Chains A and B, each alone.
Chain A
Amino acid sequence: MKKMFLPVMWVGMASWVLAGCTKEPVNHLTEEETRIYITNHDSTVSFSAFHTFSVADSVAVINDNQFVQRDQNAFDQAFLAALKTQLQARGFTLVDKTAKPDLGINVSRLYNNYTGLVSYTDYYGDYYGYWDPYYWGYPGYSYYFPTYYGVYNITQGGLSVDMFDLKDASGTNQLKYVWNGLVRGEGLFNPANASQEAQALLSQSAYLKTN
């Protein structure tokens, strides 16, 4: 029995140490690296046909697919300004919405809420080894938890930029989508990141230019 103890202990220790050494990808990302940028466009559209654009002066806030309000916080202002700068750098001319722009752009902040349930009995099972009953002066005791549950709520955000063809709208009675950009990840709505996010979306859309 004594001979069995040491090998079993070694196996247990090796499993615990090495399984714990799994390199968890999320723990090895900087805030910038957590973000992803997704763009789509209508491949039948030639963007050289458009010359002017206008951007909505505020951002739509959408929570669980429900419109909440239009807003213009520090991030919104920084992002809208950066977006205009990026499009102008690609040859488009910024005009007022009353000047019949060729392209119209909406920016939205999207929030999705997820609710989950955690069992404290399972939680206790996972973290058993972290608590030391000796600390409270009760050596040999074990912790007891009744079965009860806790609710947690996670909110995930996204930034969406949608570009529509206004030039040809009158003939079709439709505001046709021509380009969309989506950003997700950490630090998404930090005003300090707004310029970098606008640049990233446009730089991966090389076709988005006037010539």
Chain B
Amino acid sequence: MSGEQAEVGDSEFEQRARAVLTQSAEQLPGAVRSRLTQARFAALAARPARGPSFARRWVPAGAAAAAVLALLVVYAPYGRGPAENPVANAGLEDIELLTDNDAVPLNGDQDVDYDFYEWAADEADGTTASALGS
């Protein structure tokens, strides 16, 4: 294929072709030239100016950023974060309650002095009996 990869040369054929094509472009009818000029003016008029282009590029971006920030402020879960979540911290609280000496005993039955209550009951019965006997 390297043999086919020829550069543009200055062969007579190429020169003639270029001359014919260039001549045809230079001799376009007036109506076509006029349309081309109008098209060029329209394209230049539609070209975005630099200042407004900068504003057009950054104002919507700023507005979008502000909207996202506003949404975050309104809907952000302040006070309901993981640190304040009761379910997540239930285990930690249980440990604190169980190890707290001043807290109300959760398993109170183990600390009840049943002997005291029996003695008190006996004493109360004896007192009553002696009082009745006397």
A, B assembled together: no
